[in-house]
Amino acid sequence: MSRSFDRLVDAGYAGRTAAEIAAAPLDALRGVSPGDAAKLAEAFAIHEVGDLAASRFVRASGAVLTAASGRPGYDPGPPPDWEARFAAAPLDAYLTRPDVFRVDFGPAYYRGRLDGTARVLVVGQDPSVNEVLAHRAFVG
């Protein structure tokens, strides 16, 4: 999978995993100079590639661009803070009741936007196989 990122990063980061690239300094991205990286760090406290991707400013500008296009676009999933909250779910309470809860593959919490741009709230019943495997609702 890392080869798909080779065109996005400088030669020194070619062949690295997505996790390694996310933890890399901003100037690992092709076209970002050390000076550009220093300015982003000073202005927005963005130091690594992952910081840039998770930046609330980047997410907000992406939401504006998507809305301006007139198309909803693909939902990339929850931002890191929500993903961490989901990962910290107290599954032990459910594991003690396998007669009531389906816990074979873990919870399915999320499908949609958490940035305030959602226009519809859909409430559905418990997930089926596709949702359980993806850990996301309404994918099947």
Per-residue pLDDT of 23-75, as tens digits, reads 999 999 999 999 999 999 999 999 999 999 899 999 888 888 877 876 655 66
d(CA 5, CA 13): 9
Q: 136 has which bridge partners?
A: 110
Decide if 126 contacts 76 (C-beta within 8 A): no
Could you tell me the pTM of the whole model?
0.50
Instruction: Render pLDDT for 116-132 as a digit per residue (tens, 0 to 9).
Output: 777 776 666 666 777 76
Higher pLDDT, 140 or 130: 130
Per-residue confidence (pLDDT) for residue 127, from 0 to 100: 67
22 contacts: CB under 8 Å, gap ≥ 6 = 48, 49, 50, 53
Q: Quick one: three-class SS letters along 93-140?
A: HHHCCCCCCCCCCCCCCECCCCCCCCCCCCCCCCCCHHHHHHCECCCC
Per-residue confidence (pLDDT) for residue 23, from 0 to 100: 95
